[in-house]
């Protein structure tokens, strides 16, 4: 694993995504449609707890949709070629980072659309930096768990269905912790209370990425 390798894979991912803009457009459209459905279903007037729950549910499904592509867009042969060029560990770290970036961007965009459609009343008492931190850490956490799961599902030759089955129970710890943290930050609770949650989230993120780094080399071999 080398920094140069990781950087060049990151460049490759960006180039691929720029070339297939439809994929990003699809992801965005998915999120916007989901938020619009929420808007139609609840017709405004949401309490903080419900707003928070809807926001994270939409993000969770968006994450599954977005990250499933991670290891499925190239065929086996191309992947094998990639692994002979660079250390597989670089690949999984680069993809985790790239997916984390994708998720952070997607989370912030969904937050924008949530505020647009469902109103910004919930942010009245909120501690905004805390909430943004929760969104960013949550996005990174989803990406960290789902990158390896996406690789396993792709290797098993079974797409989104298997990924959902394998991923849901594993994302739950992250989801519960981040929903709790974001609820508290929306209520405007002080840092001294929420810092435990943020430290817990960071710990979960770090452990998950380390596990992916340790386990991935066993995954790609046939």
- Residue 215 touching another protein (CB under 8 A): yes
- Select from 84-92, 114-122, 155-163, 185-193 the region that touches another protein (CB under 8 A): 155-163
CA distance 53 to 3: 38
Interacting residue with another protein among 80, 176, 190, 206 (CB under 8 A): 176
**Which residues have a Cβ under 8 Å from the Cβ of 203 and sit 6 or more positions away?**
none
CA distance 82 to 52: 40
CA distance 205 to 103: 13
- Residue 145 touching another protein (CB under 8 A): yes
- Select from 19-27, 74-82, 101-109, 160-168 the region that touches another protein (CB under 8 A): 160-168
- Residue 53 touching another protein (CB under 8 A): no
Interacting residue with another protein among 80, 165, 193, 206 (CB under 8 A): 165
- Residue 180 touching another protein (CB under 8 A): yes
- Residue 89 touching another protein (CB under 8 A): no
- Residue 190 touching another protein (CB under 8 A): no
CA dist 164 to 39, 67, 172, 173, 216, Å? 25, 11, 12, 15, 19
Under 8 Å between Cβ of 171 and 134: no
Instruction: Give the dihedral sign, CA 116/122/123/124.
Output: positive
Interacting residue with another protein among 170, 187, 188, 213 (CB under 8 A): 170
CA distance 11 to 4: 10
- Residue 204 touching another protein (CB under 8 A): yes
Interacting residue with another protein among 93, 177, 186, 209 (CB under 8 A): 177
């Amino acid at each position: 694993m080398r920094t140069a390798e990781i950087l060049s894979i990151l460049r490759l991912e960006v180039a691929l995504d720029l070339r297939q803009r439809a994929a990003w457009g699809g992801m965005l459209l998915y999120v916007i449609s989901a938020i619009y459905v929420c808007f139609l279903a609840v017709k405004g007037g949401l309490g903080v707890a419900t707003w928070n729950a809807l926001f994270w549910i939409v993000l969770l499904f968006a994450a599954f949709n977005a990250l499933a592509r991670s290891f499925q867009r190239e065929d086996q042969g191309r992947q094998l070629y990639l692994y002979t060029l660079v250390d597989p560990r670089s690949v999984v770290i680069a993809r985790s980072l790239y997916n984390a970036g994708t998720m952070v961007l997607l989370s912030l965009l969904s937050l924008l659309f949530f505020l647009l459609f469902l109103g910004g009343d919930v942010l009245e008492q909120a501690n905004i930096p805390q909430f943004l931190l929760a969104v960013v850490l949550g996005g990174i956490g989803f990406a960290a768990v789902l990158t390896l799961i996406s690789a396993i599902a792709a290797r098993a030759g079974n797409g989104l269905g298997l990924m959902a089955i394998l991923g849901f129970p594993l994302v739950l710890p992250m989801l519960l912790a981040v929903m709790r943290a974001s609820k508290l930050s929306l209520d405007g609770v002080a840092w001294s209370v929420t810092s435990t949650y943020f430290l817990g989230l960071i710990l979960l993120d770090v452990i998950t990425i380390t596990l992916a780094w340790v386990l991935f080399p066993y995954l790609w071999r046939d």
